[in-house]
Amino acid sequence: MSRIGKKPVELPSGVSAQVSGQTIEVKGPKGTRSFTAGDDVDIIIDGNVVTIKPRGLSKRARQQWGMTRSMVANLAVGVTGGFKKELELVGVGYRAAMQGKDLKLSLGYSHEVIFEVPAGVTVSTPKQTEVVVEGIDQQLVGETAANIRKWRRPEPYKGKGIRYKDEYIFRKEGKKK
């Protein structure tokens, strides 16, 4: 039995949900998001509580049960508070700045990297060495942050690169004579 799937999802005030077939649409102050569940689960809305029930006891139905509940909970969180990833640039001369809708990164290459921000995500640079990625879609926010980080991953010797704000980089000792 799914421990996650058993818990009902309570919708905060100001958030409404609507089910049509296997698709649930959640509307909130930040926008509208929808998710289409598999055929192995039923989505039931009762007031401001959404419950997910499996249609059988097969392994796939139990997997879909917990995953669907997590996705519906993420929809509710996304339309109320949104999701946020913070990145830090560590290194001499490493800088980030917004250039219109694009993110301009100086990362020690012979050229500056221009990163096109996808629709549905907002990127801001409060400092030259900080990048904040925000949006209502958790998957898109995480993917965008990972794509920015991919340009210069943190290296273990000096710790230079683009890292998540709370990320710990295991430092290695250099060569010895």
Does residue 65 surpass a pLDDT of 90? Answer: yes
What is the pLDDT of the chain when averaged over all its residues?
93
| DSSP H or E segment with residue 24 | strand 23-28
| Dihedral-angle region of residue 120 (phi above 0 means left; psi in -120 to 50 means alpha; beta otherwise) | left
> Per-residue b/e over 6-28, b at no fewer than 16 CB within 10 Å?
eebbebeeebebeeeeeebebbb
pLDDT in tens, 23-46: 999 999 999 999 999 999 999 999
Domains of the chain, first to last: 3-80 (3.90.930.12), 83-164 (3.90.930.12)
Does residue 15 surpass a pLDDT of 70? Answer: yes
pLDDT, average across residues 148-169: 94
Nearest to 76 by CA among 26, 142, 29: 26
* Residue 145: per-residue pLDDT: 96
pLDDT band for 1, please (50, 70, 90 cuts). Answer: low
Residue 168 pairs in a beta bridge with none
The number of C-alpha atoms within 13 Å of 79 and in the hemisphere containing its C-beta is: 22
* Residue 66: per-residue pLDDT: 92
Phi, psi for 3 (deg, rounded to 5): -75, -35
pLDDT band for 174, please (50, 70, 90 cuts). Answer: confident
The reported pTM is: 0.87
